[in-house]
Amino acid sequence: MKTVVAGGSGFIGSHVVDLLLEQGHEVLIYDLEAPRHGQDCAFVRGDTRDVDRLTQVLKGGDIIYMLAAEANVNRFFESPRFSNDITANATLSVLEAARRCSAGRVILASTEWIYGSIPEEGEECITEDTPYTANPDHIYTSSKIASELFCRNYQSLYGVNYTIMRYGIPFGERARPETVTPIFIRRILKGEPITIHGDGSQSRQFIYVKDLARGNVACLSEAAENQVFNLNGKKRITVLQIVRTLEDILGKKAQITFVEDRKGNFKGRFISSEKARRLLGWTPSLEYEEAMRVYVEWFINRIP
């Protein structure tokens, strides 16, 4: 039995592959792009929409992580049809290949976005039982909800097993340069201003990518079969806290420009990962500040 990681050359996928290899699993990366981080494992260049190619790669009992998607929500906005094609439609292809090959399971990367971005009155804590948002405000959200529903359909109609992982906002080594943390690090280092909308109290639960990779690998457990898990950071971090944490680590003050708040700016709701702790024994190993320190050191060492 091998573990196939579709999207294994990407940001999160590459960390999942590293950990699987470290733990002695047989791994095959299935991706349009070759691995960039020196992973020593099988690689097949292929498209997740290509059911025939996937069917050649998968064997009975194999487990496939579906981490290939359009992860950049701005590109989803610019090219909705293409982005949905490589996200929801591609998930359908992976499920179909898994059905044809009697694969062991499809483990899908989803997102906390499926709960919606507008805080519900009086709602304190989100769990996996919290329903999907009735009004997705982004095509990315709709495409991820569709991907999740396809998994459930393939289980009930064809007996293909799944695990759904709903990620928080990942940060850490190999993150895309255009995401918030690398942008803030670069601006502070260069003495360039950081623009904050409103008072900086809007918050997210950031999850360190290596802890997220541990959560992915924990999902191999039989206890995760046909289950949904939030894999998220332990606490909410405000935008201002990100800046203050980086100032502390870098030993340099940020130039902050406060501008008018965006309409409906998400203040954040707490998303519980208690189920992953209970069933899989997973919990983030590092506090936000500790993980950020490790990441910043890595980041600085790579500045030419």
Rounded CA gap, 136 and 138, in Å? Answer: 6
Q: For binding to ligand NAD (CB under 6 A), which residues are involved?
A: 6-7, 9-13, 31-33, 47-49, 67-69, 71, 86, 90, 109, 111, 167, 169-170
Minimum distance from CB of 247 to ligand NAD (Å)?
23
Q: Which residue is nearest to ligand NAD (CB)?
A: 10
Minimum distance from CB of 204 to ligand NAD (Å)?
10
Minimum distance from CB of 13 to ligand NAD (Å)?
5
Nearer to ligand NAD, 9 or 203 (CB): 9
Nearer to ligand NAD, 39 or 227 (CB): 39
| Residue 73 and residue 138 in contact, taking contact as beta carbons nearer than 8 Å | yes
Residues 6+ apart with CB under 8 A from 150: 88, 91, 92, 95
Rounded CA gap, 233 and 66, in Å? Answer: 21
Nearer to ligand NAD, 37 or 253 (CB): 37
Nearer to ligand NAD, 13 or 104 (CB): 13
Rounded CA gap, 90 and 48, in Å? Answer: 5
Per-residue DSSP letter, 285: S
Minimum distance from CB of 213 to ligand NAD (Å)?
10
Minimum distance from CB of 77 to ligand NAD (Å)?
14
Nearer to ligand NAD, 14 or 227 (CB): 14
The gap from C-alpha 267 to its chain's centroid, in whole angstroms, comes to 20
Nearer to ligand NAD, 165 or 280 (CB): 165
- Which is nearest to 237 in space by CA: 272, 264, 267? 267
Burial category of 27 from C-beta neighbours within 10 Å (exposed 0-12, middle 13-18, buried 19 and up): buried
* 139-158 helix and 90-101 helix, angle to the nearest 10 degrees: 20
Other residues' Cβ atoms within 10 Å of the Cβ of residue 130: 17
Minimum distance from CB of 181 to ligand NAD (Å)?
11
